[in-house]
Amino acid sequence: MCLILIAYRCHPGYELVVAANRDEFHQRPTAPLGFWDEAPRILAGRDLQEGGTWMGITRAGHFAAITNYRDPGQVKSGAPSRGRLVRDFLQGSQSANDYLEQLRPIADDYNGFNLLLGDQAGLYYHSNQTGEIRVLPPGWYGLSNHLLDTPWPKLRRGLSLLRGRLDQRPDPTPDDLLEVLTDRRVAPDAELPETGVPLEWERWLSSIFIDAPGYGTRASTALLVRNDGDAHIVEITWADASRREFQLDWRS
């Protein structure tokens, strides 16, 4: 993922609301959102190149999502795929906190990442750029390709749009969230971060929905989890504008 917007226990009817865009090279093979044949309790898309995923949930009430930390000067050749971190948590039975404690000693083996994990005990954040495991209190959170809540223009705009939708909707729908994720506004040059990529790419990457040469927003995902555990998740795959929609009790 390259943009994850979260409202955690901020809406009176919903425990968790997530709006997320997955940005990736167009040529990378991908399977869309669905239950996995070999692990039918997992609902997620799949990176067919490395076998991991970028975001998913399970019937047991686990949530996981990851973004890369953008630093072209610190890329490690041969590092394991970061998408496996999401896959391994969703496949396992550990609590989010225990999984992160086990990961922390080997986290530097991976290229830079930000990992969000959730279970019935809470919502957690860990980046191998800081080594810290954070338990997140109820609140609004945004994550792109830097640390949690780094105020990049796309993150500020995304959270503002999301809050506006949720404030206006006593019973929000996935389409309310998906509309936020299609915003193509490019930030002014004066507001762009400097992450080690050329200025032209900083411009392309500054919008919520990215459309750059050979790279861009491949899929948009909306997740709403009611206080009673009913989960509704929708994914739009933009290559063919296909829509996949699931509802489940994610604590069954």
pLDDT band (50, 70, 90) for residue 107: very high
Q: What pLDDT, on the 0 to 100 scale, is given for residue 155?
A: 97
CA distance linking residue 23 with residue 203, whole number of Å: 15
What percent of the chain clears pLDDT 70, i.e. is strictly above it?
99
Q: Is the pLDDT of residue 161 over 90?
A: yes
Q: Please count the structural domains in the chain.
A: 1
The CATH number linked to 15 is 3.60.60.10
Q: What pLDDT, on the 0 to 100 scale, is given for residue 67?
A: 98
- Could you read off the pLDDT of 86-102 as tens digits, one per residue? 999 999 999 999 999 99
Q: What pLDDT, on the 0 to 100 scale, is given for residue 250?
A: 79
Averaged pLDDT for residues 111-129? 97
Q: Is the pLDDT of residue 130 over 80?
A: yes
What percent of the chain clears pLDDT 90, i.e. is strictly above it?
95
Q: What average pLDDT does the structure give for the chain?
A: 96
- Could you read off the pLDDT of 3-43 as tens digits, one per residue? 999 999 999 999 999 999 999 999 999 999 999 999 999 99
- Could you read off the pLDDT of 163-202 as tens digits, one per residue? 999 998 889 999 999 999 999 999 999 999 999 999 999 9
CA distance linking residue 18 with residue 68, whole number of Å: 18
- Could you read off the pLDDT of 208-243 as tens digits, one per residue? 999 999 999 999 999 999 999 999 999 999 999 999
Q: Is the pLDDT of residue 1 over 70?
A: no
Q: Is the pLDDT of residue 205 over 70?
A: yes
For residue 139, what are its two tokens? 């609140």
Averaged pLDDT for residues 60-72? 96
Q: What is the pTM of this model?
A: 0.97
